[in-house]
Amino acid sequence: MRYFYDFEFFERGGMGIEPISVGFVAEDGRELYLENAYFDWSVVPQDHFLIDNVLPYLEGADSVYAVSKFEMGETIKEFVTQTENNQLWGYYADYDHVTLAQLYGRMVNMPDGLPWVTLDIKQEAIRLGSPDLPLQYEVEHHALADARWNKQAWDYLNVFDHGWGVTGP
């Protein structure tokens, strides 16, 4: 099962990455959206990209989506490990993978059923000659909207590479 996901996150000046929100979209249509209830916005400079582009679209710490980082990791684990032969896919996915992995501690603590690598739609696009990717009609930098777009982009590249009715990597 392919899982398309995206984190919004804050880079703490080279001292780690803090998740703000995460969206997952499974190939079978299931979706998951969660926010880090304890993200400390006071550490984010007022002129930071996140203030204008991420904060306005969050549901907020009082919403049903707001969970601790531990709950975030456990919920993602339950969401993904319902299926086998799982793949994780992101777009410019390296930071997303580290943000995901660190929900569980060290790299070796990644739960069974969660891949140790996130495959990158950007790399697929480069391999295929960097064709124009689909436009994103939902708001950008909302983690679930971005995860949905990741699936659209993967679907597009798959058809670009293989034609209709054939499933790629």
State yes or no: residue 6 binds Mg ion (CB under 5 A): yes
Name the minimum Å distance from CB 12 to Mg ion.
18
State yes or no: residue 146 binds Mg ion (CB under 5 A): yes
Name the minimum Å distance from CB 126 to Mg ion.
19
- Kind and range of the H or E element at 163? none
Using DSSP bridges, classify how beta strands 2-11 and 17-26 pair: parallel, antiparallel or unpaired: antiparallel
Integer Cα distance of 157 and 134 in angstroms: 10
Q: Pick the stretch among 5-13, 38-46, 75-83, 130-138 that binds Mg ion (CB under 5 A).
A: 5-13
Name the minimum Å distance from CB 84 to Mg ion.
27
Nearer to Mg ion, 6 or 124 (CB): 6
State yes or no: residue 96 binds Mg ion (CB under 5 A): no
Name the minimum Å distance from CB 8 to Mg ion.
5
CB 110, CB 101: distance < 8 Å: yes
Q: Pick the stretch among 56-64, 68-76, 93-101, 144-152 that binds Mg ion (CB under 5 A).
A: 144-152
Q: Pick the stretch among 75-83, 98-106, 117-125, 140-148 that binds Mg ion (CB under 5 A).
A: 140-148
- Residue with structure tokens 């499974």? 26
Interface with Mg ion (CB under 5 A), residue total 2
Integer Cα distance of 49 and 136 in angstroms: 19
CB 60, CB 34: distance < 8 Å: no
Return the C-alpha torsion angle 169, 156, 114, 77, nearest 10.
-150
- Residue numbers at the binding site for Mg ion (CB under 5 A): 6, 146
